[in-house]
Protein backbone atom coordinates (compact mmCIF):
# COMPACT_ATOMS: atom_id res chain seq x y z
CA UNK A 1 0.00 0.00 0.00
CA UNK A 2 1.21 3.50 -0.86
CA UNK A 3 1.28 5.78 2.18
CA UNK A 4 0.81 9.53 1.86
CA UNK A 5 4.03 11.18 3.04
CA UNK A 6 5.53 14.60 2.30
CA UNK A 7 9.15 15.70 1.88
CA UNK A 8 9.39 16.49 5.61
CA UNK A 9 8.55 12.92 6.64
CA UNK A 10 5.01 13.74 7.78
CA UNK A 11 2.38 11.04 7.11
CA UNK A 12 -1.28 11.77 6.35
CA UNK A 13 -3.82 9.20 7.57
CA UNK A 14 -6.49 11.89 8.11
CA UNK A 15 -8.65 13.78 5.58
CA UNK A 16 -11.00 16.67 6.26
CA UNK A 17 -13.66 16.42 3.56
CA UNK A 18 -16.00 19.38 3.13
CA UNK A 19 -19.32 18.34 1.59
CA UNK A 20 -20.92 21.81 1.40
CA UNK A 21 -20.01 25.48 1.75
CA UNK A 22 -23.50 26.28 3.01
CA UNK A 23 -23.87 27.20 6.67
CA UNK A 24 -27.02 28.34 8.48
CA UNK A 25 -25.18 30.18 11.28
CA UNK A 26 -23.62 33.65 11.18
CA UNK A 27 -20.55 33.30 13.39
CA UNK A 28 -18.61 36.56 13.58
CA UNK A 29 -15.22 34.93 12.98
CA UNK A 30 -16.37 33.03 9.88
CA UNK A 31 -19.57 34.19 8.13
CA UNK A 32 -20.80 37.32 9.94
CA UNK A 33 -23.22 38.12 7.11
CA UNK A 34 -24.34 34.54 6.64
CA UNK A 35 -23.67 32.26 3.71
CA UNK A 36 -23.18 34.05 0.39
CA UNK A 37 -23.12 31.93 -2.76
CA UNK A 38 -19.85 32.17 -4.69
CA UNK A 39 -21.03 33.52 -8.03
CA UNK A 40 -17.63 32.96 -9.65
CA UNK A 41 -17.72 29.20 -8.97
CA UNK A 42 -20.90 27.51 -10.23
CA UNK A 43 -19.63 23.93 -9.74
CA UNK A 44 -21.98 21.71 -7.77
CA UNK A 45 -20.90 20.06 -4.55
CA UNK A 46 -19.43 16.55 -4.76
CA UNK A 47 -22.15 13.94 -5.26
CA UNK A 48 -22.36 10.65 -3.44
CA UNK A 49 -20.72 8.59 -6.20
CA UNK A 50 -17.80 11.00 -6.43
CA UNK A 51 -17.39 10.75 -2.66
CA UNK A 52 -17.51 6.93 -2.84
CA UNK A 53 -14.71 6.83 -5.43
CA UNK A 54 -12.70 9.39 -3.51
CA UNK A 55 -12.97 7.42 -0.26
CA UNK A 56 -11.81 4.24 -1.98
CA UNK A 57 -8.77 5.96 -3.45
CA UNK A 58 -7.90 7.61 -0.16
CA UNK A 59 -8.20 4.35 1.78
CA UNK A 60 -5.72 2.73 -0.63
CA UNK A 61 -3.32 5.57 0.19
CA UNK A 62 -3.40 4.71 3.88
CA UNK A 63 -6.10 7.18 4.95
CA UNK A 64 -7.99 5.67 7.88
CA UNK A 65 -9.94 8.68 9.17
CA UNK A 66 -12.28 11.07 7.36
CA UNK A 67 -13.92 14.06 9.00
CA UNK A 68 -17.00 15.45 7.24
CA UNK A 69 -17.10 19.23 7.48
CA UNK A 70 -18.64 22.21 5.74
CA UNK A 71 -20.12 24.76 5.94
CA UNK A 72 -22.60 22.76 7.94
CA UNK A 73 -22.53 19.16 6.68
CA UNK A 74 -25.93 18.16 8.05
CA UNK A 75 -27.77 20.62 5.78
CA UNK A 76 -27.22 18.17 2.91
CA UNK A 77 -30.29 15.99 2.42
CA UNK A 78 -28.07 13.02 1.60
CA UNK A 79 -25.83 13.52 4.65
CA UNK A 80 -26.61 10.14 6.22
CA UNK A 81 -26.22 8.43 2.84
CA UNK A 82 -22.70 9.90 2.64
CA UNK A 83 -21.93 8.61 6.14
CA UNK A 84 -23.17 5.16 5.09
CA UNK A 85 -20.91 5.17 2.00
CA UNK A 86 -17.85 5.99 4.11
CA UNK A 87 -18.71 3.39 6.76
CA UNK A 88 -18.86 0.72 4.03
CA UNK A 89 -15.33 1.56 2.84
CA UNK A 90 -13.22 -1.04 4.64
CA UNK A 91 -10.02 1.02 4.89
CA UNK A 92 -11.73 3.96 6.58
CA UNK A 93 -11.72 3.06 10.27
CA UNK A 94 -13.11 6.34 11.62
CA UNK A 95 -15.80 8.57 10.14
CA UNK A 96 -16.49 11.68 12.21
CA UNK A 97 -18.18 15.05 11.69
CA UNK A 98 -17.87 18.66 12.75
CA UNK A 99 -21.22 20.42 13.12
CA UNK A 100 -22.74 23.57 14.57
CA UNK A 101 -25.33 21.36 16.27
CA UNK A 102 -28.25 22.72 14.27
CA UNK A 103 -31.18 20.30 14.78
CA UNK A 104 -28.96 18.04 16.88
CA UNK A 105 -31.80 17.55 19.36
CA UNK A 106 -33.95 16.16 16.53
CA UNK A 107 -31.39 14.02 14.69
CA UNK A 108 -29.45 12.58 17.65
CA UNK A 109 -31.02 9.13 17.15
CA UNK A 110 -30.06 9.09 13.45
CA UNK A 111 -26.51 10.10 14.31
CA UNK A 112 -26.21 7.38 16.93
CA UNK A 113 -27.59 4.75 14.54
CA UNK A 114 -25.53 5.91 11.54
CA UNK A 115 -22.31 4.35 12.78
CA UNK A 116 -20.48 7.67 13.08
CA UNK A 117 -17.40 7.27 15.24
CA UNK A 118 -17.41 10.76 16.69
CA UNK A 119 -18.90 14.23 16.60
CA UNK A 120 -17.39 17.68 17.17
CA UNK A 121 -19.92 20.36 18.04
CA UNK A 122 -19.18 24.09 17.90
CA UNK A 123 -20.37 25.85 21.06
CA UNK A 124 -18.53 29.12 21.58
CA UNK A 125 -20.11 29.93 24.92
CA UNK A 126 -22.32 28.39 27.59
CA UNK A 127 -23.82 31.82 28.17
CA UNK A 128 -27.07 32.12 26.21
CA UNK A 129 -26.63 35.78 25.27
CA UNK A 130 -22.99 35.32 24.35
CA UNK A 131 -23.82 32.31 22.21
CA UNK A 132 -26.44 34.26 20.28
CA UNK A 133 -24.11 37.24 19.90
CA UNK A 134 -21.37 35.06 18.37
CA UNK A 135 -23.50 32.79 16.14
CA UNK A 136 -26.50 34.96 15.31
CA UNK A 137 -28.85 32.23 16.62
CA UNK A 138 -30.62 31.50 19.90
CA UNK A 139 -30.13 27.73 19.74
CA UNK A 140 -27.88 26.93 22.70
CA UNK A 141 -30.62 25.09 24.62
CA UNK A 142 -31.49 22.87 21.63
CA UNK A 143 -27.82 22.01 21.04
CA UNK A 144 -27.25 21.09 24.67
CA UNK A 145 -30.42 19.00 24.55
CA UNK A 146 -29.02 17.26 21.48
CA UNK A 147 -25.84 16.39 23.38
CA UNK A 148 -27.93 15.05 26.24
CA UNK A 149 -29.90 12.91 23.77
CA UNK A 150 -26.67 11.50 22.30
CA UNK A 151 -25.42 10.60 25.76
CA UNK A 152 -28.70 8.83 26.57
CA UNK A 153 -28.15 6.79 23.40
CA UNK A 154 -24.67 5.85 24.68
CA UNK A 155 -22.88 7.78 21.92
CA UNK A 156 -19.36 8.06 23.30
CA UNK A 157 -16.97 10.23 21.27
CA UNK A 158 -18.41 13.72 21.79
CA UNK A 159 -16.21 16.80 21.53
CA UNK A 160 -17.06 20.48 21.82
CA UNK A 161 -15.09 23.26 20.13
CA UNK A 162 -15.09 26.96 20.97
CA UNK A 163 -13.14 29.73 19.26
CA UNK A 164 -11.24 31.75 21.86
CA UNK A 165 -12.35 35.40 21.64
CA UNK A 166 -10.83 38.22 23.69
CA UNK A 167 -13.31 39.75 26.11
CA UNK A 168 -16.10 37.45 24.96
CA UNK A 169 -15.29 33.95 26.26
CA UNK A 170 -11.71 34.27 27.50
CA UNK A 171 -12.10 34.94 31.23
CA UNK A 172 -11.47 32.57 34.13
CA UNK A 173 -15.23 32.63 34.65
CA UNK A 174 -15.70 31.19 31.15
CA UNK A 175 -13.00 28.56 31.75
CA UNK A 176 -14.63 27.60 35.06
CA UNK A 177 -18.03 27.24 33.34
CA UNK A 178 -16.56 24.70 30.94
CA UNK A 179 -14.65 22.96 33.72
CA UNK A 180 -17.90 22.52 35.63
CA UNK A 181 -19.60 21.24 32.46
CA UNK A 182 -17.01 18.51 31.83
CA UNK A 183 -16.65 17.58 35.49
CA UNK A 184 -19.61 15.23 35.21
CA UNK A 185 -19.74 14.88 31.40
CA UNK A 186 -17.42 12.52 29.53
CA UNK A 187 -16.80 15.12 26.82
CA UNK A 188 -13.63 16.63 25.35
CA UNK A 189 -13.86 20.42 25.31
CA UNK A 190 -11.31 22.37 23.24
CA UNK A 191 -10.62 26.04 22.70
CA UNK A 192 -9.34 27.00 19.25
CA UNK A 193 -7.19 30.11 18.96
CA UNK A 194 -8.82 32.60 16.59
CA UNK A 195 -7.20 32.45 13.14
CA UNK A 196 -6.91 35.25 10.60
CA UNK A 197 -8.57 34.63 7.22
CA UNK A 198 -8.81 36.70 4.08
CA UNK A 199 -12.09 38.30 5.18
CA UNK A 200 -11.82 38.72 8.96
CA UNK A 201 -8.77 40.96 9.50
CA UNK A 202 -10.59 43.63 11.55
CA UNK A 203 -12.41 40.99 13.59
CA UNK A 204 -9.10 39.21 14.16
CA UNK A 205 -7.39 42.40 15.36
CA UNK A 206 -10.23 43.05 17.79
CA UNK A 207 -10.75 39.57 19.23
CA UNK A 208 -7.52 37.58 18.91
CA UNK A 209 -5.88 36.61 22.17
CA UNK A 210 -2.97 34.25 22.75
CA UNK A 211 -3.91 30.72 23.78
CA UNK A 212 -1.38 31.05 26.61
CA UNK A 213 -4.18 32.49 28.73
CA UNK A 214 -5.84 29.06 28.76
CA UNK A 215 -2.54 27.20 29.20
CA UNK A 216 -1.87 29.28 32.30
CA UNK A 217 -5.32 28.46 33.69
CA UNK A 218 -4.85 24.73 33.08
CA UNK A 219 -1.40 24.66 34.67
CA UNK A 220 -2.62 26.59 37.71
CA UNK A 221 -5.49 24.13 38.17
CA UNK A 222 -3.37 20.96 37.89
CA UNK A 223 -4.50 19.74 34.46
CA UNK A 224 -1.98 17.29 32.94
CA UNK A 225 -1.14 17.11 29.22
CA UNK A 226 -2.05 13.82 27.50
CA UNK A 227 -0.35 11.92 24.65
CA UNK A 228 -2.58 11.26 21.59
CA UNK A 229 -2.68 8.73 18.74
CA UNK A 230 -1.31 9.11 15.19
CA UNK A 231 -4.69 9.96 13.63
CA UNK A 232 -5.56 12.58 16.25
CA UNK A 233 -6.12 16.18 15.32
CA UNK A 234 -3.92 19.12 16.37
CA UNK A 235 -5.37 19.56 19.85
CA UNK A 236 -3.28 19.27 22.99
CA UNK A 237 -5.48 17.48 25.51
CA UNK A 238 -5.34 17.90 29.27
CA UNK A 239 -6.74 15.53 31.89
CA UNK A 240 -7.54 15.84 35.58
CA UNK A 241 -8.50 12.83 37.74
CA UNK A 242 -11.31 14.84 39.32
CA UNK A 243 -13.05 15.39 35.98
CA UNK A 244 -14.78 12.97 33.59
CA UNK A 245 -14.11 15.16 30.57
CA UNK A 246 -10.96 16.67 29.09
CA UNK A 247 -9.77 20.18 28.28
CA UNK A 248 -8.09 20.75 24.94
CA UNK A 249 -6.33 23.53 23.10
CA UNK A 250 -5.65 24.10 19.41
CA UNK A 251 -3.01 26.81 19.13
CA UNK A 252 -2.13 27.40 15.45
CA UNK A 253 0.21 30.31 16.31
CA UNK A 254 2.32 28.19 18.65
CA UNK A 255 5.87 27.18 17.75
CA UNK A 256 6.17 23.98 15.67
CA UNK A 257 2.38 23.69 15.29
CA UNK A 258 2.79 22.27 11.77
CA UNK A 259 5.51 19.80 12.73
CA UNK A 260 2.95 17.10 13.52
CA UNK A 261 0.52 17.90 10.69
CA UNK A 262 -1.26 14.69 9.66
CA UNK A 263 -4.22 15.90 7.59
CA UNK A 264 -5.11 17.08 4.12
CA UNK A 265 -8.26 18.88 3.02
CA UNK A 266 -10.66 18.40 0.13
CA UNK A 267 -13.21 21.09 -0.63
CA UNK A 268 -16.88 20.53 -1.36
CA UNK A 269 -16.19 21.04 -5.06
CA UNK A 270 -13.34 18.55 -5.23
CA UNK A 271 -10.19 20.66 -4.80
CA UNK A 272 -7.28 19.16 -2.88
CA UNK A 273 -5.80 21.60 -0.36
CA UNK A 274 -2.50 20.65 1.22
CA UNK A 275 -2.97 23.19 4.02
CA UNK A 276 -5.85 25.19 5.48
CA UNK A 277 -3.87 28.33 4.66
CA UNK A 278 -2.11 27.13 1.52
CA UNK A 279 -1.76 29.36 -1.51
CA UNK A 280 -2.57 26.66 -4.03
CA UNK A 281 -5.22 24.05 -4.64
CA UNK A 282 -5.69 21.53 -7.41
CA UNK A 283 -8.90 19.92 -8.61
CA UNK A 284 -9.04 16.13 -8.36
CA UNK A 285 -12.69 15.96 -9.36
CA UNK A 286 -11.99 14.90 -12.95
CA UNK A 287 -10.44 11.71 -11.55
CA UNK A 288 -13.48 10.59 -9.54
CA UNK A 289 -15.93 10.40 -12.44
CA UNK A 290 -15.39 6.69 -13.20
CA UNK A 291 -14.38 3.66 -11.17
CA UNK A 292 -11.46 2.92 -13.49
CA UNK A 293 -9.66 6.21 -12.64
CA UNK A 294 -8.49 5.04 -9.22
CA UNK A 295 -4.78 4.69 -10.01
CA UNK A 296 -4.64 8.12 -11.67
CA UNK A 297 -6.33 9.66 -8.64
CA UNK A 298 -3.87 8.07 -6.22
CA UNK A 299 -0.90 9.13 -8.32
CA UNK A 300 -2.03 12.76 -8.52
CA UNK A 301 -2.66 13.05 -4.77
CA UNK A 302 0.69 11.44 -3.94
CA UNK A 303 2.60 13.74 -6.27
CA UNK A 304 0.97 16.85 -4.83
CA UNK A 305 2.54 16.15 -1.44
CA UNK A 306 5.88 17.19 -2.92
CA UNK A 307 4.52 20.75 -2.85
CA UNK A 308 3.34 20.78 0.78
CA UNK A 309 5.22 23.44 2.73
CA UNK A 310 6.79 22.99 6.14
CA UNK A 311 4.54 25.59 7.80
CA UNK A 312 1.34 27.54 7.23
CA UNK A 313 3.20 30.80 8.03
CA UNK A 314 0.02 32.06 9.66
CA UNK A 315 2.13 34.04 12.13
CA UNK A 316 3.33 36.13 9.15
CA UNK A 317 -0.23 37.05 8.19
CA UNK A 318 -0.45 34.49 5.39
CA UNK A 319 -4.06 33.39 4.87
CA UNK A 320 -3.60 31.71 1.49
CA UNK A 321 -6.78 30.84 -0.40
CA UNK A 322 -8.90 30.80 2.78
CA UNK A 323 -11.27 33.76 2.63
CA UNK A 324 -13.38 32.24 5.40
CA UNK A 325 -13.41 28.93 7.22
CA UNK A 326 -16.61 27.66 5.57
CA UNK A 327 -14.77 27.05 2.29
CA UNK A 328 -12.40 24.40 3.64
CA UNK A 329 -14.05 23.21 6.83
CA UNK A 330 -11.76 24.98 9.28
Please answer whether residues 14 and 266 qualify as being in contact, where contact means their C-beta atoms are separated by less than 8 angstroms. Answer: no
To the nearest whole number, what is the mean pLDDT of the chain? 90
Residue 163: the pLDDT is 96
Residue 276 located in a structural domain: yes
Q: Does the residue 95 lie in any domain?
A: yes
Coil, helix or strand at residue 114: helix
What percentage of the chain exceeds 70 in pLDDT? 91
Query: Quick check: is 171 in a domain?
Result: yes
Q: Decide if pLDDT at 251 tops 90.
A: no
Give me the CATH number covering residue 160. Answer: 3.20.20.70
H or E segment to which residue 205 belongs: helix 201-207
60 lies in a domain? yes
Residue 203 is assigned to a structural domain of this protein: yes
pLDDT digits (tens, 9 = 90+) for 117-176: 999 999 999 999 999 999 999 999 999 999 999 999 999 999 999 999 999 999 999 999
- Give the pLDDT score at 228: 66
Residue 23, pLDDT score: 93
Say how far residue 299 (Cα) sits from the centre of its chain: 26
pTM of the model as a whole: 0.92
Q: Which tens digits make up the pLDDT trace of 221-244?
A: 999 998 766 556 678 899 999 999
Of 26-35, 267-276, 305-314, where does the model show the most confidence?
Answer: 267-276
Task: Tell which phi-psi region holds residue 329, choosing left (phi > 0), alpha (psi between -120 and 50) or beta.
Answer: left
Range of the domain at 33: 14-316
Q: How many other CB atoms are there within 10 angstroms of residue 148's CB atom?
A: 14
Closest residue by Cα to residue 80 from 55, 112, 102: 112
The closest of 277, 268, 236, 211 to 68, measured between CA atoms, is 268
Residue 8 in any domain: the answer is no
Q: Please state the domain count of the chain.
A: 1
User: Is residue 324 one of the residues assigned to a domain?
Assistant: no
Amino acid sequence: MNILEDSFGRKFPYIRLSITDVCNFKCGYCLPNGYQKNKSDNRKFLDINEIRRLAKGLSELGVCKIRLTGGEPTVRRDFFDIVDILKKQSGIKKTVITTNGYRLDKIAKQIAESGLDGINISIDSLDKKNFEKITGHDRLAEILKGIENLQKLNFKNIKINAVLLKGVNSSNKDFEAWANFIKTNEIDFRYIELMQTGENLEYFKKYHISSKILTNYLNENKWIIQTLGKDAGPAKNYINPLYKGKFGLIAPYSKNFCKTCNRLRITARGDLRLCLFGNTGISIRHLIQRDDQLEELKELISKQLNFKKESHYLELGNTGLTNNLSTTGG
